[in-house]
Amino acid sequence: MMSKILVTGGSGFLGSHCILKLLDAGHSVRATVRSQEKVKETQKMLTSAGAISANDVEFVRADLTSDDGWQAAMKGCEYVLHVASPFPSAVPKDENEIIRPARDGTLRVLRAARDAGVKRVVVTSSFAAVGYGGKPKSGGTYTELDWTDPALPNPPYIRSKAIAERAAWDFISSEGGSLELAVVNPVGIFGPVLGADYSTSIAIVKGMLEGAMPGLPDVYFGVVDVRDVADLHLRAMEKPEAKGERFVAVAGPLMSMAGIASILRSRLGEAATKVPTKKLPSWQIRLAALFSNNARQMVPNLGKKRDSTSEKAHRVLEWNPRPNDEVIVSTAESLILHGLVAR
């Protein structure tokens, strides 16, 4: 008999892909949403993506900022995929608008899971909790042994992921009881969108296709397909070896903005005619940062190369993600398919 799994943030980009993967594996799925308005929208996305029957997914209302609903959400579940987390489109004036929901919400989910007798929770953390705390211990690439120092003056989102994940591990060691924990730390999540609710990183490809970028800044980041991140969550949920471990999720070598643009132009033909070709000098970004919040967020990353590896996920969980070019192309094609690229 397959397990009943709770997915938090089931209406989100990664959450909906986790639901699809669980349904395909034959599991019974319950998902949390912040409002009932999200239920029909999510059911429509799941059905259009090929779910056998999105109506088979049970939806319950629960919010990371409140205890209400979490006890009922956990009832009868063997595993929990805690995917829900705040990811703002802009830096808030008060960093606690991000940090508190991330940390307190994670602890709220873990307490409810422990009290309900859940076997294991898989928490979606981020590479932000790994690669922003100084040089990697390996000397070259960031691994699961590396941690972002929450005391460093990183942007609030990065600090929130480090603080929330640290709080999760501390909870398990001090008061988790028999509850098990595994953590997935993805880099920038791309891949096929199912609707208008998608990760912030997708906006990079969307902006390129729409010609909304005046040029290509000197920025590098890892990419990974949302379907592969969902697959890694299931492996971390099911495999005994994943207990007490964290797993970096990255598809391959770092990508530059220019590299992404090159893939789009070479693979999409006329659909990529607005993709920029000019590289932006870093001094222009720094100048724009005086007036633009988006440019200001780029400045700390200009020219920085934070290499990471998924060797551990390959070795322990036999995880094999799609290559970078497939990740980028599938992202663009899905945006076009769903009419999300402005013409």
9, 84 in Cβ contact below 8 A? Answer: yes
How far is it, in rounded angstroms, from Cα 83 to Cα 197? 14
Q: Is 292 within 8 Å of 91 (Cβ atoms)?
A: no
Q: How far is residue 156's CA from residue 241's CA, in Å, rounded to a whole number?
A: 32
Best CA proximity match to 64, nearest among 93, 113, 30, 101: 101
Burial grade of 118 (CB within 10 A; 0-12, 13-18, 19 or more): buried
7 forms bridges with which residues in the sheet?
Answer: 31, 81
119: alpha, beta or left, given left = phi > 0 and alpha = psi -120 to 50?
Answer: alpha
Query: For the chain, how long is the longest CA-to-CA vector?
Result: 60
| Integer Rg of the chain from CA | 19
Residue 180's DSSP bridge partners are: 120
Q: 310 exposed, middle or buried (CB, 10 Å; 0-12, 13-18, 19+)?
A: buried
C-alpha–C-alpha distance, residues 330 and 343, integer Å = 19
CB atoms within 10 A of CB 138: 12
Q: Kindly write down the DSSP assignment for every residue of 123-164, as one continuous string.
A: EE--GGGTSSSSS-TTSSSB-TT----TTS---HHHHHHHHH
Told to judge if 305 belongs to the known catalytic residues of this protein, a careful annotator would answer: no
Sole residue written with tokens 């000397």: 139
Q: State the catalytic residue, choosing from 119, 161, 239, 243.
A: 161
Q: How far apart are CA 127 and CA 33, in angstroms?
A: 25
Contact by Cβ (8 Å): 325, 178: no
The catalytic site residues sit at 161
